[in-house]
Amino acid sequence: MSPIRQNLQAITTTIVAAAQESGRQPASVQLLAVSKTFGPEAVLEAVAAGQRAFGENYLQEGLDKIRAVQEAGAPALEWHFIGPIQSNKTRPIAEHFAWVHTVEREKIAQRLSEQRPAGMAPLQICLQVNISGEASKSGVAPNELAALAHKVAALPNLTLRGLMAIPEPADDFDQQRAAFAQLRTLYEQLRADGLALDTLSMGMSADMRAAIVEGATIVRVGSAIFGARNYDKA
Ligand SMILES: *Cc1c(COP(=O)(O)O)cnc(C)c1O
Length of the chain: 234
Percentage of residues in the chain having pLDDT higher than 90: 93
CA of 202 to the centre of ligand 1 (A): 10
pLDDT at 137: 76
By most ligand atoms within 8 Å of CB, the mutation choice from 32, 183, 204 for ligand 1 is 204
CA of 188 to the centre of ligand 1 (A): 24
d(CA 81, CA 74): 19
Atom of ligand 1 at shortest range from CA of 204: 9
Ligand 1 contact, 182 CB (< 6 A): no
At 142, phi and psi to the nearest 5?
-55, -35
Q: Give the residue among 53, 23, 36, 101 at the shortest CA–CA distance from 231.
A: 36
CB of 101 closer than 8 Å to CB of 128? yes
Atom of ligand 1 at shortest range from CA of 166: 13
* Residues 167-214 pLDDT 10s: 999 999 999 999 999 999 999 999 999 999 999 999 999 999 999 999
Ligand 1 contact, 204 CB (< 6 A): yes
- pTM for this predicted structure: 0.96
d(CA 86, CA 92): 11
* Residues 9-35 pLDDT 10s: 999 999 999 999 999 999 999 999 999
Break the chain into its structural domains and give their ranges.
3-229
Flag whether pLDDT at 136 surpasses 80.
no
**What is the pLDDT confidence band of residue 1, given thresholds at 50, 70 and 90?**
confident
CA of 216 to the centre of ligand 1 (A): 15
- Specify the CATH architecture of the domain 3-229: Alpha-Beta Barrel (3.20)
* Residues 57-112 pLDDT 10s: 999 999 999 999 999 999 999 999 999 999 999 999 999 999 999 999 999 999 99
